[in-house]
Structure 1
Amino acid sequence: MSAAPAPFGWGTILRLGLVQTALGAIVVLMTSTLNRVMVVELALPAAVPGALVALHYAVQVLRPRWGYGSDLGGRRTPWIIGGMALLALGGVGAAAGTVLIATAPAAGFALAILSFLAVGIGVGAAGTSLLVLLSTGVAPRRRGAAATIVWIMMIAGFVVTAPTAGHLLDPFSAGRLVAVSGGVSAIAFAVALAALWGVEPRRPRAAAREAARRPFRQVLGEVWAEPAARRFTIFIFLAMLAYSAQELILEPFAGLVFAMTPGATTKLAGIQNGGVLAGMVLVALVTVRARGRLASLRLWTTGGCLGSAAALLAIAACGAGPDAPLLGGPGGLLRTCVALLGFFNGVFAVSAIGSMMGLAGAGGESRHGTRMGVWGAAQGVAFGLGGFLGAASVDVARLALGAVVPAYATVFAAEAALFVVAAGLAWRIGAPAQAPRPDLSGLAASHG
């Protein structure tokens, strides 16, 4: 009998994080650059790129099937590479379709729709199998830190690609748009390929044979029949719905209620993202080094949800109460509450991903990918619905209540209630067994 492979070192975790960096680099062009070109240069309604982005989320409901496919094959790397290849092709095709809309609308829209579908499938297939690979290879105590590293490296893909592509696109032309998109996609795919080379250990053939004995519907039914898996699915959906619902309403709230300028509300988003990063880093540092309760991802997930609920209620109260400039200038109290919202969002998000890694392996290796796919589908659908429902709820509340402040306060309070329910579900989910305290002496020098 062969010995079990050694857990991934920090270097290997960083390499797998590069795959997320590559994924983020392509996706950011779809959600920002192409969105702007369609609305500004092509003068299309904002609903057009919005519908295309929603389409890329909707197709991710098929994540369980892709996870099941990786269970059958016995290896995750081919699914990650295949997903990244489809994502890269979708990125180029979306840019070409956007350009084509100006001269041949029917062909352009058809190509754009197919390309956004390819992007959604690529993100789902690659992202699901990447998380499975991490969850099977990372020691339990390192899961929170691994989730933080991977998430931050995905954000790094956004941060590096957006300004670089923006610089290369000036002066703007259709040819430049396709060339830049093609270049980003090619580089991202090459980076992902290099990062994955030789990382995944060979899976025992017995595990693959065990997965092959049962059809997809049966395996999916078995996963859904598990109380912990079902509860965690509902938790992911509710928490991510609340997380994404405030994305499109926070800046309009600041502008309407506090008379903040567009520049000021953009800075507000920066404050929130800074809080998210701080929360993630804190969880990573504490869970790696702490013992006992402080090392429990269940505790951090629950606390992050409750803290997010409290911050949303505080933001709702800001509109009706006096403004205390805790961070200086008008809207200071609002900025403080938004920073806290970002912090607790970061705490719950990275803790939930770490918990997901631990729970994915419960019940047998043959259902690992399917289980992760179910949770990924819940997350994708919640993200797709959250922004729309948040904005639509504000419009409905304004019509019903006839005033701006109560309308926004009602929606923020509803989001807080979702977080409270999610916290209750998170607390009932058993925490994975804790591993012995790891040796961190080789963190800087480790190469996996």
Structure 2
Amino acid sequence: MASRGSDIAGLGWVSIIRIGLVQASIGAMVVLPTTVLNRLMVVEYALLAAIPAGLVAWHYAVQLTRPLWGQISDKGRKRTPWILCGIAVLAAGVLLAARATPVMANDFATGFGLAVLAYTLIGVGVGMGGTSALALLASGVAPQRRAAAAATTWIMMVAGIVASAIVVGKLLDPYSPERLLAIASGLAAATITLCALATFRLERGHVQFEETRKDEPAPDFRAAIAEIWSETAARRFTVFIFVSMMAFSMQDLILEPFAGLVYGMTPGESTQLGGQHQGGILLGMIVAGVGGSAFKGRLTSNLRAWIAGGCLLSALALSVLAISAMVGPGWPIGPNVFVLGFGNGVFAVAAIGAMMGLAGAGAKTREGVRMGVWGAAQAIAFGLGGLLGAVGVDAARRVLGHDGSAFQLIFAVEASLFVLAAVLAVRATRAAPTLGDEMGAGEKEVFA
């Protein structure tokens, strides 16, 4: 296999775009269980916000298996079968979740049991398919192209989320359980077909940029985890991912209920508001990628400024959103949410560029396990953040007796976490040069 720093070309841009289509499909399908069904449970079916938050948190908890999926794909000869299997499991989970949601209104025990199974399948599918796709990107793309490739595929993922939110939002009104199931079925069929076409013969004959040789077996799972955790940069970066993604996810499960309870929006309108947030993320990713360093093939010292700046802009937008919770209808909620998404996108794409650089660094290159560790940290943070946000809103609504005040409190806490994430980002990226002795000359430039 090619060593790091090789001049041999790996996956080209067409192949990178094809991996991006997989990411876009995952994003498009996850919109339904994590945003649309969340709003329906809280507003239309009058369930506690903690119920959908718990289900979403569970699907993230299941994704703690990400390092294991990464290890399995590291040992195997191909990653594509794991990608396709993950997409199929994800689609099955989304369909079951769409069926379980209205059942909970009439038979809560049965519906909730089906929902737990559905969100388990969703977590397995995202973990299996998503980790394998990112590992293929990290191992199959030349080192000097990894940051740009990562930015491209994540921008495509967000584009998939935006497109799905807009289309689902328009099709969902007037809401009915039958309409919901039809939308979920069409979405599942379209994404499975797209992923099958995108991955067809994708890995045939491509070079893998790995440190380990074919005759050197990958270590067992526990040894691989210990190997990566011993690196200062990888460890600090994991902490940054955890805090920033917890801040990012706290509004995920309460934004649409917030729009319905405080602004009186319909399910379709609140879903499209979520699309505006994702549209801001998309634009932020593009601006950071083009204006920063992600599309230049290597990361430069201004990467810290892009990550920290995105976190601070997110904190500012959330502070303004907290003020809007006491104003209600008449506030320009759309632009406010769009700016929040823009800040999220700026820090996310810069962090992704750093992640891809670190994925191929270290004494041993274990792209699958490395991406799995960071994916697991993200999953824990997303689940915990979403759950804390929803449970916090439920508790605050009961104690304060006012919806606006409850949401204001949670948005303020989330803003504070983004400020902390900005501080951690600077600390984490400054730790990266400690890997210099283990890198090739070209890779030392990545973390200069």
**Range of TM-score over shorter length:** 0.7 to 0.9
Amino acid at match of 2:308: T
Partner residue in 2 for 1:85? 88
User: Who is 1:441 aligned against?
Assistant: none
Question: What is the number of residues matched between the two proteins?
Answer: 424
Q: Compute the displacement of 1:408 (Å).
A: 5.7
Aligned to 1:237: 242
Once the two structures are superposed, the pairs formed by residues 202-351 of structure 1 within 5 Å of their partners are: 203=208, 207=213, 209-212=215-218, 214-248=219-253, 260-262=263-265, 272-286=277-291, 287=293, 296-316=302-322, 330-331=330-331, 338-351=337-350
Residue number in structure 2 paired with 1:28: 31
Asked if structure 1 preserves the Cα contact closer than 8 Å seen for 2:43 and 2:260, the reply is: no
**Counterparts of 1:414 and 1:40, CA distance in 2:** 23
Instruction: Check 1:58–1:365 CA distance in 2 against 1; reply closer, same or farther (3 A cut).
Output: same
Match of 2:125 among 119, 122, 126: 122
Q: CA deviation digits over 1:178-229, x for unaligned, max 9?
A: 56544432332232122122333255895455343x3211211222222111
The C-alpha deviation readout for 1:144-193, integer Å capped at 9, x for no partner, is: 54344323332343444456567888998877765654443233223212
In the aligned structure 1, how far is the partner of 2:276 from the partner of 2:43?
27
Partner of 1:446: none
Q: Does the C-alpha gap of structure 1 residues 140 and 283 become closer, same or farther in structure 2, counting only changes over 3 Å? A: farther
Change over 3 Å in CA distance of 1:187–1:416 after alignment to 2: closer
Per the alignment, residue 192 of structure 1 pairs with 195
Amino acid at match of 2:17: L
**Structure 1 residue identity aligned to 2:375:** G
- 1:439 match: none
Deviation of 1:262 after TM superposition, in Å, equals 3.0
Greater Cα offset, 47-56 or 69-78: 47-56
Identity %: 50
Q: CA RMSD in A?
A: 4.3
- Paired with 2:376 and 2:77, the residues of 1 have a C-alpha distance of 21
C-alpha distance 360-102 of structure 1, shift in aligned 2 (>3 A): same
C-alpha separation between the residues in 2 aligned to 1:179 and 1:408? 33
Deviation at 1:86, TM superposition (A): 1.9
Aligned to 1:388: 387
For structure 1, which segment, 346-355 or 102-111, has the greater mean C-alpha deviation from structure 2 after superposition? 102-111
Residue 119 (structure 1) shift: 1.5
- In structure 2, relative to structure 1, the CA distance for the partners of 1:425 and 1:106 (3 Å cut) is closer
> What is the CA–CA distance in structure 2 between the aligned matches of 1:255 and 1:58, rounded to whole Å?
28
CA contact (8 A) 1:305 1:419 kept: yes
Contact 1:208/1:366 (CA < 8 Å) preserved in 2?
no
Residue number in structure 2 paired with 1:134: 137
Between 1:43-52 and 1:192-201, the stretch displaced more is 43-52
2: CA distance, partners of 1:173 / 1:341:
31
Q: CA deviation at 1:13?
A: 1.9
> How far is 1:400 from its partner?
7.7
On the 8 A contact 1:251/1:266 being kept in 2, the answer is yes
For the pair 1:11 / 2:14, whether they are aligned, the reply is: yes
Q: Deviations over 1:413-435 (max 9, x none)?
A: 43333223322322232276557
Cα 1:94–1:282, aligned 2, differ >3 Å: closer, same or farther? same
Q: Distance in 1 between matches of 2:392 and 2:21?
A: 37
Q: Secondary structure at the match of 2:59?
A: helix
TM normalised by structure 2 equals 0.76
Q: Aligned to 1:152, which of 151, 155, 168?
A: 155
The residue that corresponds to 2:372 in the other structure is 373
Q: In 1, are the aligned partners of 2:146 and 2:297 still within 8 Å (CA)? A: no
The C-alpha deviation readout for 1:73-96, integer Å capped at 9, x for no partner, is 243223212212222333344445
The answer on whether the counterparts of 2:36 and 2:271 sit within 8 Å (CA) in structure 1 is no
Q: Is the 8 A contact 1:145 1:285 kept in 2?
A: no
Q: CA deviation at 1:309?
A: 3.0
1:372 partner letter: M
Larger Rg: 1
Which runs of no fewer than 5 residues in structure 2 stay unpaired? 434-442
| CA offset digits 1:394-447 (Å, max 9, x no partner) | 565678889888866654443333223322322232276557xxxxxxxxxxxx
- Work out which of the residue numbers 34, 53, 60 in structure 1 matches 2:63: 60
Separation of aligned partners in 2, 1:251 and 1:174: 19
| Residues 115-148 of structure 1, C-alpha deviations (whole Å, 9 max, x = no match) | 3211111101111121122223345565454344
Q: Structure 1 residues 278, 433: CA separation in 2 closer, same or farther (over 3 Å shift)?
A: farther
2:22 corresponds to which letter in structure 1?
V
Is the CA contact 1:16–1:150 (under 8 Å) kept in the aligned structure 2? yes
Q: What CA distance in whole angstroms lies between the structure 1 residues aligned with 2:425 and 2:365?
A: 25
In 2, Cα distance between the equivalents of 1:5 and 1:291?
16
Change (3 A) 1:298 1:12: farther
> CA, structure 1 residues 245+211, in 2 after alignment: closer, same or farther (shift >3 Å)?
farther
Partner SS state of residue 242, structure 1? helix
Give the match's secondary structure for 2:78.
coil
Question: Which TM-score applies when normalising by structure 1?
Answer: 0.76
Structure 1 residues not aligned, in runs of 5+:
324-328, 436-448
Asked if the contact 2:39–2:257 (Cα under 8 Å) also holds between the matched residues in 1, the reply is no
